[in-house]
Structure 1
Amino acid sequence: MLPHYGDTALMQAAVQSVLDQTDKDWRLTVVDDGREPGVPEWFASLGDDRVRYMRNEQNLGITRNFRKCVELVESTHFTMLGSDDLLLPTYVETMRAAIEAVPDAAIYQPGVEVIDEHGNPSTSLGDEVKRRLYAPKHNGRRLVLSGEPLAANLLGGNWLYFPSICWRADAVKAVNFREDLSVIQDLALIIELIRRGEKLVVEPAPAFRYRRHSGSLSSAEAVTGARFGEAVRFFNEVADDLDRHGWPRAARSARRHLSMRLHALTMLPGALRHRQSDATRRLLKYALTRSE
């Protein structure tokens, strides 16, 4: 699945990365939430029956378009590819091997290479923190994770790369994305799946290129501080839910949400540079306080 809104050239590169797969047994559905000219014609020119393109009659917004994509899934497993990200040629092959090895998991995280706007290797503070502090050490071995320890780990610092994940369709369809969230809806879905007893597989083989650039929705909302207001609400709600579920360690991790507060501090220079005094105050307040 490819929910599209934004840069046409980057979307076309994402589609080409699907066409270039070594394993040819795949289908691609693109749900276009924009109005860029020439896009329907470009898809028609591909002449590939495995590629299905549709354009929304009206703009749905990111979360409603995600939900529509989930509803359109027809296969047993799917990926919600970002329209500016890239699959490495062995993505389908790698994910198929992971599914065959652990068929009862719901979440499959492959190895990820981070790139910038121009496709060059890129490293940000956030990605280094993910890799060094939060991501489990796999030493080249496939890992299978689940339960409260996994929930506590991810609520402390979400080291997953959402657009790279391969999902088991029936598990996601039973939950889907929360309509009231716009930038943290992926973590909300993942925590709910874990709470329901689902497993996460870490497949160390690199299979995906994640594009990190300042033009993303989450980056734009982070600079204004809007992302963190949504995060506070989510972490407070999920902490209460996990307490009721009997997972006190995960609930404490949600209330601390340490990595998000550290991330707020890293966004302060941008807010100051843009002379956004309101955003600066919100980011400081978020970074220096936590729920109890």
Structure 2
Amino acid sequence: MDAVQAAPAPMVSGIIIFLNGETYIEEAIQSVLAQTLTDWELILVDDGSTDGATAIARKYAEDYPGKIIYTEHPGHQNCGMSASRNAGLRLARGKYISFLDADDIWLPERLSHHVEILEAHPDVVMSMGPTLLWSSWSNPKEAARRPWMAADIPTELGLPVMTPFEPPIVAIGFLEKHGGNVPGICSLMVRREELLALGGFEDSFRTLYEDQVFFFKIGLNCRIIATDRILDYYRQHPGSACHQAGGMSGDAKMRPVFLEWLQDYLIDNGFKSRRLWKAFRGEMLRFDRPGLWRMQNIPSDIVDQFNVRTRRAVIFLLTPRFYTWLRRKLRLSVVDVTNVR
């Protein structure tokens, strides 16, 4: 460790956290080794693995001393995703931080592209890009049998590219348009000192929403820039952290915890933006009172056909399919109703 600390600090510290990821972790590490930018270190944080992932990670650290670093929690404990990212962050020495999950991969120009962006914009703290939801990696026979399950889907940020945004514009935009869903953490690069100044990750978020807490800390306080290049692949499989945490049911349990954290963070840090608070209240309403939220978002050309009392009945009792049927019956103009949920 002394030799590692004595070496010159790298441009980028990559951090991979893992828990029982023996099936995919080697591919993730190899994608880092294949980077066109070579001025990096890779920190492998073991979150209490009980499979062969620990041995794989240790072997890479032995083969690449000073370049790849293995670490674990005291007693080989499982401490959760946030605590593991923080453990990697404490060891990191790079000017920039990028995260890669053990079942995902970076394309070769992932680091060089984002370093180029941040070097050209010294007042920007974080760069981000779209991600490919990667299903085509799976068994070819399974893909042939169920081709709809093997389609790769690119995500979209919905932001102008190469345009620095002042805080909290990006955070507001994601609350308004994406329900608080944020870019994949493997698509981001952030300045290490600024992330440390903001306190890193929140250890209480062990699985779901740890990335959203991180994103909103940055988005509320720092300038952000976006690229339209897809340079990371987010593997879709039933053993992923999201699936293991319960999928949609886990999300429903953690959503109010995240929103409560966000509300406290906004209050404690004195955020006054009316648009920010309006966006936050809208998201609270969407989660806590979906009927009222749907009432606010029903297409106006349908709403105009009903008095207030009838509108409420429609909103609370009827399904999105009914709106489509009603539109046809009333011969109303075609308006997208897919967002009425």
Query: 1:42 corresponds to which residue?
Result: 59
Listed as ranges, the matches of 1:124-135 within 5 Å are 131=156, 135=157
Identical residues among aligned pairs (%): 18
> What's the CA shift for 1:61?
2.1
TM-score, with normalisation over the residues of structure 1? 0.76
> Counterparts of 1:258-277 in structure 2 under 5 Å?
none
Aligned-residue CA RMSD in angstroms?
2.7
1:184, 1:230 within 8 Å by CA — same for their partners in 2?
A: yes
For residues 96 and 218 of structure 1, the distance between their equivalents in structure 2, rounded to whole angstroms, comes to: 29
> Residue 101 of structure 1 is aligned with which of 120, 130, 143?
120
**Cα distance, 1:148–1:173 mapped onto 2, change above 3 Å:** closer
**Deviation, structure 1 residue 199:** 0.9
CA distance in 2, matches of 1:239, 1:189: 15
For structure 2, which runs of at least 5 residues remain unmatched after alignment? 1-14, 139-149, 291-341
1:222 CA drift (Å): 4.3
Q: Partners in 1 of 2:250 and 2:125 — Cα distance?
A: 30
Paired residue for 1:285?
none
Larger displacement relative to structure 2 (229-238 or 89-98): 229-238
Correspondence 1:225 to 2:240? no
Opposite residue 50 of structure 2, the aligned amino acid is R
2:152 aligns with one of 88, 106, 122: 122
Report the counterpart of residue 151 of structure 1 in structure 2.
Answer: 171
Shift of 1:2: 1.0
Secondary structure in structure 1 of the residue aligned to 2:24 = helix
Which 5+ residue runs of structure 1 have no aligned equivalent? 265-292
Encode CA deviations 1:45-91: one digit per residue, 9 max, x unaligned: 63454112223332222221122112111111111111111110111
Q: 2: distance between equivalents of 1:62 and 1:117?
A: 26
SS of match in other structure, 2:233: strand
1:151-170 matched pairs, under 5 angstroms: 151-156=171-176, 157=178, 158-170=181-193
Distance of 1:252 and 1:214 partners within structure 2 = 36
What residue is the counterpart of 2:202 in the other structure? Answer: 178
- CA shift, 1:252, in A, is 2.5
Secondary structure of 1:68's counterpart equals helix
In structure 1, the partner of 2:281 is 255
Q: Distance between the aligned counterparts of 1:91 and 1:259, measured in 2?
A: 38
> Match for residue 106 of structure 2?
87
**Alpha-carbon distance change, 190 to 223 in structure 1, aligned in 2, over 3 angstroms:** closer
Give the count of matched residue pairs: 251
- The equivalent residue for 1:193 is 218
Measure the CA separation in 2 of the matches of 1:46 and 1:121.
Answer: 36
Larger-gyration structure (1/2): 2
Distance 1:26 1:40, change over 3 A: closer
Equivalent AA in structure 2 for residue 256 of structure 1: G
How much does 1:121 deviate? 5.2
CA–CA distance in structure 2, aligned partners of residues 233 and 47 of structure 1: 40
Mean alpha-carbon deviation: is it higher for 21-30 or for 57-66? 57-66
CA contact (8 A) 1:162 1:186 kept: yes
Answer yes or no: is 1:136 the counterpart of 2:158: yes
How far has the Cα of 1:224 moved from its partner?
A: 6.3
* Letter matched to residue 280 of structure 2: A
